Every structure is written in structure tokens, then in C-alpha cells.
Amino acid sequence: MTTAPEGTFGPRILALADHLAEYSDSAHGLTCLYLTLAHRTVAAELRRLMQAAGMEVTIDAAANVAGRWRSDAPGAKALIVGSHYDTVRDAGKYDGRLGILAALVAVEALRDEGRRLPFHLDVIAFSEEEGVRFSAPYIGSSAMAGRFDARLLARRDAAGFALADVIRESGLDPAAIPALARRRDDLLGYLEVHIEQGPVLLAEDLSVGIVTAIAGAVRRKVTIAGEAGHAGTVPLALRHDAGLAAAELILFVERRCQASPGMVGTVGQLGVPNGAMNVIPARCELSLDVRAGDSATLDAAMTDIDAEMARIAQARGVSFESEEVVCTPAVACAPWLQQRLAAAVEGAGVTPRYLMSGAGHDAVMFDGLTAVGMLFVRCGNGGVSHSPRETITAEDADIAARVLINTLLNIRPDHAHE
């Protein structure tokens, strides 16, 4: 257990988050996009903070800020504790950055208490998780996990700048990105501390929660083709109404997701192109986003949704076209890391609460490479995130840091074999 008095870590984490939020691409609110001036300045600040804590630090070819609290154990493996420092537009201060700062204060506590671990502790501030500037998420973590797609280097941002050129102009070498890939045999595991970005912990009055899985997701663009007709002269029984077909599908998605605990389904975009108030819709376009904590559950739901599309099409005399734009498998968190986190949560006086993450995180890039674990931290204002209203308390940040520190102190290299 850490010997630091209660309340030591929370105020420092919040103060550091405030400090990093001073660097923004916008004069109004926090925006920190990949390799902008604000982004490069935050990277330099994180390097300074990590060095001051006693870590060996580099900013690598993908702009990750990588700090190592070195172990003196012979043949030590590395445990990565990381999250991202980029933001969405008009962002909150804690999404991503909380995990970096919690890891930073953990190293400071280890330094102050004169502790070394039986593994290298690698604190990684990943450069680009949100994917806002180049429509490419996970740039930093995919590089470190050996999953970077080199074709992205030709992708251009809204101003026409190619990713490879932006990396070079920042003083980095895109050709060196493949060499960032970590080796499976060198890793003990991956841990991430993150705000929940939802209301569950807030509703249950819990400071932290243990993530069991990061949801898999299927996203589709669905187009329904029917037949236009006069709204006053075509009897209901003779219509081929694309709008009503869309309504049926949307309600089915809700019912189907309610039937599987933890599953969610969302139609976030819905339109009737060239529609008019007095015309039966001939075409309807909608988006579909379905997520579940395990891939088998997700696959079963999508099979049922496809079958429902076919049924609606036959019943209403319409046709469906469905284009898959995203399909990511669910990521299960390692039981042994969940157990260590739960013990530390209980030691902090909090009832262990297990929950799924419906959002993606840098952690997904390490699935299959090493064991993955995540700790969620309660956020206020109804659980809102990706917003200036995003907030956490100093008390919760303090508990999260303590849980992380005590988890680290209770991990042994042989735990990975459990």
C-alpha cells in the first residue's frame, strides 16, 4: 500500500489537467488535434513532467510520449500504463489525460517512497486516439502495438496536409514508425485509467469501477427504397413506405438490444432525401450503431437485425441496402488484472463494481498482444464527456491514483500466467 496521506494525488491531478488545458488550438474551449502547435506543446510538457518524476523519456516517431520507470530486476518485462493526450473539438479536460496523469503521480509516489517494481513501468501518453484531424483513430497506440497501417501516411486533413508531411514537419520520421512495435515477450500487460464517459458509477455513488470488456461495435449505413405516392390518395394498405420501414427497423433494434444485457443500439442519423410533407417517402437513409461486450452476442444480434430487414422488406414491398463501415471485435479484460484492480478498489473502501466500456480506447490496440485491464473513474454532470461540462472530483481522482498505485505494488511477473 502507498504511504501517501489521503488527498495527496487528487488535487495535483486536477491542477495538472488544468495546466495542460491551457494549450489549445482554439481560443474558445479545449481543442488539441494531432501534431498541431498545442499538441506538440502538451507533448513537451508531458516529457518535462515525466523526466522530473525520474523516468527515462522519449517522444517517438508517432508523437507518443513514452516514459519508463526502470526496474532493477534482471530480465524484467514491461507493464504499460497509458492513455491519450489528444482531444476532440471543444473537449473536456479529463478524457484520456486523466489516465496519463494518474500514472504520472503513481511514479512520483514510487519515487518518493523509494520503491522499485519487479517490472519496468512504461507510462505512455498516446498521441492520437480520437482520430479527429485525419479521420484515423489510434495512431499512437496502433504504432506501439504493431498495427499501424502505413497507407494512412498518405491521408490528408481538411486543409490538404498529408499525415506523413505533418509528421516530418514536426521533426519526427514516419519511416521509423514500424520500429515502435512492442514485442509480445517483452510485455507483462497493459493498464488504462479512464473516465467512465457515462452515468453508471455516478448513479450508484461509486468512485471507480473495473472494466470487464470493451464493447465490439458494428456500424452500418442503411438505405431503404420504397415508392413515392400522394399522401392523400394512396391507401395505407397499398403503400411501399420507406419511412415506416425505417421506423419498424429502429424499434426492432431497440427491442433486440434490450433483450441482451449490456448491449446498446443507436440510430444517430435518419433522413428522407427529397422528402415532402404530402409525399409518401420513397427513400430513407439511416445509420446503425450496435455494441456488445462480447463478439458472439454482437454477431447474434446482427444476424437477427438482418433477418428483420428481410421480413420488413417482404411485408412492405421495399428493399434494403446495408453498408458496413465499422466492425470491431469486443476486447475482454484479463481476469488476473480485474482481480488485482478489485483488491485495490476494495482496499480503498469502495465496493468493487464491474462494468463494460461501450466506448473504444487505446487499450483495444493491445488485445491479442498482451493482457489488458481498465479502471473507470466516475464523472459528474450526468456522466457527460467529450464536452466542456466533463468533470471529476479531486476525491475520485485521488482514489483512482491510489487504486492504480496499489495495483502496481501487488502485481508480480508470474501473474500473467494465471
Closest CA to 383 of 215, 207, 201: 201
For residue 417, pLDDT beyond 70: no
pLDDT tens, 189-245? 999 999 999 999 999 999 999 999 999 999 999 999 999 999 999 999 999 999 999
| CA–CA distance, 186 with 199 (Å, rounded to integer) | 37
| CA–CA distance, 418 with 401 (Å, rounded to integer) | 25
Q: Which residue has the higher pLDDT, 90 or 2?
A: 90
Segment 157-181 shows an average pLDDT of 97
Show the CA angle centred on residue 165, arms to residues 19 and 82, nearest 5°: 40
What pLDDT does residue 260 have? 94
Tell me the domains of the chain and their CATH numbers: 10-214+331-417 (3.40.630.10), 216-328 (3.30.70.360)
pLDDT tens, 37-73? 999 999 999 999 999 999 999 999 999 999 999 999 9
| CA–CA distance, 204 with 131 (Å, rounded to integer) | 32
- Over the Cα atoms of the chain, what is R_g? 24
**Dihedrals φ, ψ of 331, to 5°?**
-115, 115
pLDDT tens, 351-368? 999 999 999 999 999 999
Contacts of 345 (CB under 8 A, 6+ apart): 208, 210, 351, 352, 375, 403
Closest CA to 8 of 92, 91, 105: 105
What pLDDT does residue 4 have? 81
| Average pLDDT of the chain to the nearest whole number | 96
pLDDT category of residue 418 using cuts at 50, 70 and 90: low
CA 139 to the chain's CA centroid: 13
Query: Is 25 strand, coil or helix?
Result: coil
Sign of CA dihedral 121, 365, 402, 99: positive
CB 89 within 8 A of CB 38: no
DSSP state of 162: B
CB 223 within 8 A of CB 325: no
Segment 111-133 shows an average pLDDT of 96
For residue 414, pLDDT beyond 90: no
pLDDT tens, 305-352? 999 999 999 999 999 999 998 888 999 999 999 999 999 999 999 999
What pLDDT does residue 215 have? 95
Segment 397-410 shows an average pLDDT of 97
Sign of CA dihedral 202, 208, 213, 217: positive
Instruction: For residue 224, count CB atoms less than 10 angstroms from its CB and return exposed for 0-12, middle for 13-18, buried for 19 or more.
Output: buried
Residue 300, CA distances (Å) to 43, 136, 257, 294, 307 in order: 43, 28, 11, 10, 11
For residue 402, pLDDT beyond 70: yes
Instruction: For residue 247, count CB atoms less than 10 angstroms from its CB and return exposed for 0-12, middle for 13-18, buried for 19 or more.
Output: middle
pTM for this structure?
0.90
Tell me the HSE value of 97 on the side-chain side, using a 13 A CA sphere. 30
Q: Which residue has the higher pLDDT, 7 or 383?
A: 383
Q: How large is the greatest C-alpha to C-alpha distance in the chain, in angstroms?
A: 83
| CA–CA distance, 173 with 397 (Å, rounded to integer) | 36
Instruction: For residue 160, count CB atoms less than 10 angstroms from its CB and return exposed for 0-12, middle for 13-18, buried for 19 or more.
Output: exposed
Query: Is 40 strand, coil or helix?
Result: helix
Query: Is 122 strand, coil or helix?
Result: strand
DSSP string, 388-418: TT----HHHHHHHHHHHHHHHHT--GGGGG-
Min mean pLDDT across 284-293, 327-336, 380-389, 409-418 is at: 409-418
What pLDDT does residue 317 have? 98
Closest CA to 59 of 167, 182, 191: 167
What pLDDT does residue 248 have? 98
